Amino acid sequence: MAVKVIGLDKAVRELRKKGDQAELIIKKVMFDTASNIEFDAKNAAPPELGGEILGIRERLLSSPANNGFKFFVGIPEEKVQDFDAYAEFGTGQSAKQILFGPGYTDEMRRIAKRFYKNGLGTLRGKPFLIPAFLRYSANLVDNLKKAVEQAIK
């Protein structure tokens, strides 16, 4: 015995369409967030530090991963220079003050630790990437939920 549900095929098509719409809106929110982080970070990046020309603005980029569901925003590993970290975090006491400030995580501290020399440096950091990340990622999950809800109404 078989039961045919009238309208099931149409309902499945509509659900798939809503899923496709949700995927597109998620990718758009992720792209917009990454673009905003990149833009703000480039604008805040110092052109030089301690007399050293940095070129951060030229090397900083955002690039999609996982078919647009994730983004990398920063300086690609092969282009990172020690002074990039010194510009972001500072050295010595400046680094300590910045890295233990609000919003900084253990993961961020581990990244900075890779550039640690002796803790005696005197360069003052001028954070550019982490503040942009914190600003735009703070409400990312809520923004995604709202956007998806709107897209699938």
Query: Where exactly are the structural domains of the chain?
Result: 23-147
Say which residue the tokens 């078919």 belong to.
67
d(CA 41, CA 132): 6
Q: What is the secondary structure of 89-145 as a DSSP string?
A: H-SHHHHHHHHTSTT--HHHHHHHHTT-S-S---PPP---HHHHHHHHHTTHHHHHH
pTM for the model? 0.85
pLDDT tens for the 153 residues of the chain, in order: 445 556 667 776 776 788 888 889 999 999 999 999 999 999 999 998 878 889 999 999 999 999 998 999 999 999 998 889 999 999 999 999 999 988 889 988 988 888 888 889 898 999 999 999 999 998 999 998 899 888 887
